Amino acid sequence: MHARPFQQIDVFSHRPGDGNPLAVVMEAGDLGAAEMQRFAAWTNLSETTFLLPPTEAGRAGGADYRVRIFTPGGELPFAGHPTLGTCHAWLHAGHRPREAGAIVQECGLGLVRIRQQGGTLAFAAPPLRRSAPNPALLALVTGALGLRPQQILAAQLLDNGPRWLGLLLGDAPTVLGLQPDHARLKDLGQAVGVVHVAPTAGDTQSPGVTVRAFAAPMGNPEDPVTGSLNASLAQWLIAEGLAPRQYLVAQGECLGRAGRVHISQDDDGQVWVGGQAVTCIEGRALL
């Protein structure tokens, strides 16, 4: 065992306790997957990440560092709040990217671009695969959420590494009032993201989009603030004209959090998912 630099970051918040916590273990290049998984299960956070040097191919592609991302139950090829939180930890530790203000992360999904603007980090949403859900699955999930079919305005299966069933609902109180049967969702093996887009969503001074993420199949009944889900929701909703090109998301209220996710689509059609992050714990982890 070795004492390794360790940080715990709150992501999508400027104030500790309002966002989604992430454990980051640095100097993890000699750790195996089983050791990483064991530590991630011990932290019992939605995700724990491990910083490593880029692979030869990653370095050739411009990667500044490589990350492996674990939930308590398994490894993910990509996830949003671990991407921003790991980047924040890497910068906080004194590292600097090859190009000022532009960081390249290597992960299981490939290379992910991250931009730094003031106190905000934003990642380029990775390519999205989406399709209409199986009607039988949609009916089962609708029942597990306690919804009636007519309350769902639109639905899509979304896959950018993590796989979500995205559901668009007609009002925020319905989203916030959901009390899902998490055991049933776990049995179905389907993570679900529920979203409402207000008519005023284009005014980014205050949150106009409400999101909740139910991730029992990933070991987390409800995720406080979810970058990968917000990325895929944005790509779907903007492409279908169901959301403006820029908006501000509120997520986490039902868990006592106040997460804020900034969504924007640039002129090239790239969706960016951003937010603030703050270091809450810093020290060394023995593993």
| Positions marked catalytic | 47
- The encoded tokens of residue 15 equal 């104030």
Distances (CA, A) of 192 to 123, 133, 246, 280: 22, 12, 23, 29
Q: d(Cα 97, Cα 87) in Å, to the nearest integer?
A: 10
Alpha carbons 275 and 116: distance in angstroms, whole number: 10
DSSP 99: B
**Residue 253 burial (10 A CB sphere; 0-12, 13-18, 19+):** middle
- Give buried/exposed letters for 190-200 (b at 16+ CB in 10 A, else e): bbbbbbbbbee
